[in-house]
Structure 1
Amino acid sequence: MSDTSETASLAALWSDRPYHRRWLLQQADGLFDFFQTAAINPKGGFYDLSRDGKPLSTDNPARGIHASARMVHCYAIGDLLGRPGAADVVDHGMRYLWERHRDEKNGGYFWQANDTGAADPSKQGYGHAFVLLAASSAKTIGHPLADRMLADITEVIETRFWEKAHGAIAEEFSADWQPVPGYRGQNSNMHLTEALMAAFEATGERHYLDKATSIADLLINRRAREEAFRVAEHFDEHWVVDRNYYHANEMFRPAGTTPGHWLEWARLLMQLWILDGKRHAWMPETARGLFFQSMALGWDKAKGGFFYTLDWANVPEKTAKLWWPLCEGAGAAHFLNQHQESEFHEDSYRRIWNYIAGNSLDREFGGWHEELTEDGRPSNTLFPGKGDIYHALQACLIPLFPAEGSLTKVIREYPHSV
């Protein structure tokens, strides 16, 4: 960035500039276009796509519940914006969640489903969090299944996953609800916090917000504060940090710490602070600390982008540059700039978008590269193609609206912002 950009006046925020706003909306439109038709599996659910926008597999592929639910959420946003055809995508996804992912015998939702039933029948907290998000978002556009699914998933989370003694959820159960012992995770609880806020916004029911606050207090006000504003990923059943945890699935449970989640929590904390009447002073304070640490420790000062993981000595461990930490950084910087204006937050916002524009956008095939090497070349060691619209779409749209809640809330309240 130029010296001029680095000392930019607060009166000239990019998010206020008409050209930048048009550019962001253009990127959002490109993402909607890339996924809207190509990702739909005519047998139900959605395909994971290759780089060129074709299904990675058409032979009865397993559909992850988080992918199905995220598509529902994103195209509910599209429908709220007035995008033709978006409501049909929501309906396609909602029916697959209800008819294929839902376990009619034992209750809850399978982690993976395919044309014939459960491909992976386990019951994962991460997946159930996204079902709550999908149902909440679908409710904002009046989908006929939304209320039934919202009531169902709320009961499942309350009776099966929620651990009142800790104020957070357990991680995993078998299909018949036998607990998988020994582990508690922040990632599932973080996404549940996002979904609980969306459910509160859609229903006005306070118990959702109370649970979100409880999770944030445990994971951030206590555990992250103890770690100098670094978010621990892995815990034992008593919520003691497990620094030596390793899992083969590095997509969902990477070892060490993940700066992208510090950024994600920074935005979620600001949103929670606003929704809860700005009662908890620790929330904006901690959001600021998390964002600062992510830029100080997670940003590659030589080549740009965020390292995927750090070890506990703050040394980059997995040096791939993934798209989603950039997306979360852009959203967090916008929320912080709206409520805690600073040149640091604006400079960071511009750095992140400059890197995205120069590296993450696939100008040949459309969509975004989900993984880059340390020096910014497209790679596929963790993510085989382009399976996700959720992070990038929200990054493009969040700066177009007042930083006062979920996109499904602010689009309804400020329909003339775009």
Structure 2
Amino acid sequence: MKPWLELPTHRDWLEVEGELLLAFGLRCGLPAGGAAYLDADGVPTPGEPVHTWITSRMVHVYVLGQLLGIPGCRPVAERAFGGLTGRLRDTTGGGWYAAVDDDGPVDDAKVCYAHAFVVLAASSAVRAGLDGAPELLAEATSVFLDRFWDEDAGLCVDTWDASFSVLDPYRGINANMHAVEAMLAAADVTGETIWLERAARIGSFVVRQAGENDWRIPEHYDDGWTPLPDYNDDRRDDPFKPYGATIGHALEWSRLLLNLEAAARDADLSSVLGAADWSGAAQALFAHAVADGWAVDGADGFVYTTDWDGTPVVRDRMHWVAAEGTAAAAALWARTGDPTYASWYERWWDYISSSLIDRERGSWHHQLDAANRPIATVWPGKPDIYHAYQATLFPRVPLAPTLATALARGLL
């Protein structure tokens, strides 16, 4: 029996599920620019500010829909894009505010995580030919390099104040992970292979740190890049910087390392990869994430975080972790041909279909408890469709180039 990853019927199913997600999020594009935070029914949440990270993700997602020729996607992408060239952009201090409302900034911090997504959104928008996209990409990459890229460390700093005067001493892997994603996209669009070199420096650091910690990635560091293993011990379910090892990030890094490896090889830049075993690291991260995180407490689903010995800490199931699990399994199957990865892939899509996809109200439940019942303590509503939608695309494209470029070249 063929694995699902080889079946045209499965690819058709992924296509349908992706289109349902795009239909759910159509109301996110705001007339004043930016993307709304969506509630459980796909309606903009009253009183919720417009976030740069959500806006950038939705630009990226609806550009992908546009590149696939799905009617209705371009207007949504353009309205969201208008937030990045408009009210989210700081015309005085530079960069992008974390969040704004109708009266102006409500969070004026300049955050690497959000700026990485601006680079991703702008890169995708260039591929789709959105008006103003080349200018946005030029500005976004300039700000990113000037303010967030630390050339000496080969890593990104995390958070500045509004004026880019005060830099928080905290350093984090989450922002660096999405920086790698953005760098791969920027390399595809600009042809500047130095973005791959920067991404490889970040990846090498993460592989080294994970390898020294039994393949559990230390997420939090001080300004000298010394790990802070107890960081946020009092906020264990933080949505962006939780305490402990984050299962979903190990899975996401597993895929990203393979994307980086493929991109460097396609560009004939083997020197960028060095002597590191990128595929071996990806397999180790995946294996330990599965052992620590999948169905370890009697019910299917990935726990959110574990302690440094692999003991579950936050047992809630976040939708994005399962999405990244399928993407990592598909990537490893493509890279190795090992049927074990195809089996995990199928099992996790079964779980997503039975427990996460909301057939009544649309999209995916963003958070489940340990018994797989929908809850909303960390993620109220269904803010965006980025992880879920990408999960419907990754199994259908090569490991490189990145999604927008792959779709623009007809590689789906």
- Shorter-chain TM-score above 0.5: yes
1-structure distance, mates of 2:138, 2:19 = 32
* Aligned length, in residue pairs: 402
Conserved? CA contact 1:324–1:370, under 8 Å? yes
Deviation, 1:119, is: 1.4
Deviation, 1:307, is: 0.3
Select which of 39, 63, 85 maps to 1:50.
39
**Other-structure match for 2:193:** 206
2-structure distance, mates of 1:179, 1:230 = 31
Question: What are structure 2's unaligned runs of at least 5 residues?
Answer: none
Does residue 371 in structure 1 map to residue 371 in structure 2? no
Q: Structure 1, residues 110-150: CA drift from partner, whole Å, max 9, x if none? A: 11112222111110000100000000000001112111111
1-structure distance, mates of 2:19, 2:130 = 23
Does residue 299 in structure 1 map to residue 294 in structure 2? yes
**Other-structure match for 1:25:** 15
Q: Structure 1, residues 16-47: CA drift from partner, whole Å, max 9, x if none? A: 112211111111010000001x2222332222
2-structure distance, mates of 1:282, 1:151 = 33
Conserved? CA contact 1:52–1:365, under 8 Å? yes
1-structure distance, mates of 2:33, 2:81 = 10
Select which of 58, 73, 81 maps to 2:68.
81
**Other-structure match for 2:285:** 290
Does residue 381 in structure 1 map to residue 377 in structure 2? yes
Deviation, 1:214, is: 1.1
2-structure distance, mates of 1:13, 1:56 = 40
Conserved? CA contact 1:305–1:326, under 8 Å? yes
**Other-structure match for 2:404:** 408
2:202 partner letter? I
2-structure distance, mates of 1:411, 1:18 = 18
Conserved? CA contact 2:18–2:392, under 8 Å? yes
**Other-structure match for 1:334:** 330
**Other-structure match for 1:253:** 241
Deviation, 1:311, is: 0.9
Q: Structure 1, residues 83-125: CA drift from partner, whole Å, max 9, x if none? A: 1121111211111111111111111111111222211111000
SS in 1 for 2:29: coil
1-structure distance, mates of 2:154, 2:398 = 30
Conserved? CA contact 1:111–1:122, under 8 Å? yes
**Other-structure match for 1:313:** 309
Q: Write out aligned runs for 1:81-100 (5 A).
A: 81-100=68-87
**Other-structure match for 1:269:** 257
1:135 partner letter? A
1-structure distance, mates of 2:168, 2:331 = 37
Q: Percent identity between the aligned chains?
A: 37
Conserved? CA contact 2:216–2:308, under 8 Å? no
Question: What are structure 1's unaligned runs of at least 5 residues?
Answer: 1-8
**Other-structure match for 1:242:** 228
**Other-structure match for 2:3:** 13
Select which of 25, 30, 35 maps to 1:35.
25
Deviation, 1:163, is: 1.1
Select which of 375, 386, 397 maps to 2:393.
397
SS in 2 for 1:32: helix
1:155 partner letter? S
Runs of 4+, deviation exceeding 4 Å: none
With normalisation by structure 2, the TM-score equals 0.95
2-structure distance, mates of 1:399, 1:163 = 33
1:92 partner letter? R
1:289 partner letter? A
**Other-structure match for 1:186:** 173
Conserved? CA contact 1:123–1:175, under 8 Å? yes
2-structure distance, mates of 1:413, 1:44 = 29
1:224 partner letter? A
Deviation, 1:179, is: 2.7
